[in-house]
Amino acid sequence: MAHLSFFFLFPLGGYELIAIIFAIVLLFGGRKIPELMRGLGKGIREFNSARASIEEEIKEGMKEEDGKKKSIQSSTSKEKTEE
């Protein structure tokens, strides 16, 4: 069976995954697992949303910097042509 990589820390085979799932069922019970997965999904969505907003802010900041550089370059080139 192909090994899955879990956060690139260590390889997990089929038996290891089965043992982990079995331990989770024993610890939390079958009724709590959907609730845990729902919370995990909500957390992942919030994380991805925050990441996307940060990326957008960075892109906007880079565009503003490019605009400032272009305006500075155009004003300096105008000064050179006036001399």
Residues of the chain with pLDDT under 50: 1-2, 6
**Residue 73 in domain:** no
Q: What is the pLDDT of residue 58?
A: 93
**Residue 72 in domain:** no
Helices (H), 1-83: 14-28, 32-82
d(CA 4, CA 14): 9
Crossing angle between the packed helical segments 14-28 and 32-82, to the nearest 10 degrees: 110
**Residue 46 in domain:** yes
**Residue 6 in domain:** no
**Residue 42 in domain:** yes
**Residue 56 in domain:** yes
**Residue 3 in domain:** no
Tokens standing for residue 81: 């042509």
Tokens standing for residue 64: 């503003």
**Residue 45 in domain:** yes
**What is the number of structural domains in the chain?**
1
Q: What is the pLDDT of residue 1?
A: 42
